[in-house]
Amino acid sequence: MSSLDQPYPLASDQVAFYREHAWIKLPGVLTPAEIAHFDAVITSDVHRLNRETRPMEERDTYARAFLQVMNLWRSSVEARRLVFSKRLAGIAAALLEVRGVRLYHDQALYKEAGGGHTPWHADQYYWPLASDRTITAWIPLQETPLEMGPLEFSAGSHRLTDGRNLAISDESEAAIDRVLREGPYPHVVEPFGVGEVSFHAGWLYHRAGPNTTGRPRKVMTMIYMDAEMRLKAPENANQQLDWDTWCPGARIGEIVDTPLNPVLYP
């Protein structure tokens, strides 16, 4: 498990690719043995902490998209080892081109067998953060073919402001899809191999298809922000909820330096 804190060498053209497109998928970030280990650890935690028990037909679009369990690092020593990985946080800092990053929060996203699509959205709609220096690591815990619903990106769409007021919903899927089709934003959807990890910006539009297989699509994510990130006044109810939940005690205009938002790199 020693590679968790070993540097992952990024080439200058990879940083330039991320700067232009606001997403990148990197090979060999974690080893097959590490993926197998954290598959077992995080799946056990999700089963233990998940509170969604409704049949699929009784859920709305958001709830059909995935099971969602947050901040596993606070309840699982082994999950903390992955969340606090300097290898992953170092990649995040390098792609953001900042000196350091701190944690916003982690979340496991498990798209159940037969689970529905994840509508087009931009994550930062939910975050009361003052700049766009945010990035999410998306770590599949198994090989992820197209039939399982891997993450899809609209390359370069972080520059687009239309649709930034939409939460994940049927409305966001329809409205953002229409805007993206009218612009120069290539739609990228690819399978993920074991150990591949993607990184995407907070304002990049992304989605995922349904899981049409008989197995769950298991994913762990970490959201990083510039270590100097400041809190902004919430612009919607979701941002107020995130402030209360993920950075309680932070003050508007000041660095988001709370016990729930530790610096992970350097």
Q: Using the CB atoms, write b or e for 230-242: b if 16+ within 10 Å.
A: bbbebeeeebeeb
Reference 129, options 239, 22, 263; nearest CA is 239
Torsion of CA 109, 70, 67, 88, to 10 degrees: 10
Q: Confidence band (pLDDT; 50, 70, 90) for 188?
A: very high
Starting at the edge strand that comes first in sequence, how are the strands of the sheet with 187-189 ordered? 118-121, 206-208, 151-154, 187-189
In the chain, the amino acid numbered 245 is T
In the chain, the amino acid numbered 15 is V
Q: Is 77 left (phi over 0), alpha (psi -120 to 50) or beta?
A: alpha
In the chain, where the domains are located:
2-256
Q: Write the pLDDT tens digit of every residue in 19-59.
A: 999 999 999 999 999 999 999 999 999 999 999 989 998 99
- The answer on pLDDT for 60 being more than 70 is yes
User: What pLDDT, on a 0 to 100 scale, did the predictor assign at position 2?
Assistant: 73
User: What pLDDT, on a 0 to 100 scale, did the predictor assign at position 1?
Assistant: 55
Q: Write the pLDDT tens digit of every residue in 95-139.
A: 999 999 999 999 999 999 999 999 999 999 999 999 999 999 999
Q: What is the 3-state secondary structure (H, E, C) of the chain?
A: CHHHHCCCCCCHHHHHHHHHHCEEEECCCCCHHHHHHHHHHHHHHHHHHCCCCCCHHHCCHHHHHCEEEECHHHCCHHHHHHHCCHHHHHHHHHHHCCCCEEEEEEEEEEECCCCCCEEEECHHHHCCECCCCEEEEEEECCCECHHHCCEEEECCHHHCCCCCCCCCCHHHHHHHHHHHHHCCCCEEECCECCCCEEEEECCCCEEECCCCCCCCEEEEEEEEEECCCEECCCCCHHHHHHHHHHCCCCCECCECCCCCCCEEEC
Tell me the fold of 2-256.
Answer: Jelly Rolls (2.60.120)
Rg, the chain, Cα only = 17
Q: pTM for this structure?
A: 0.96
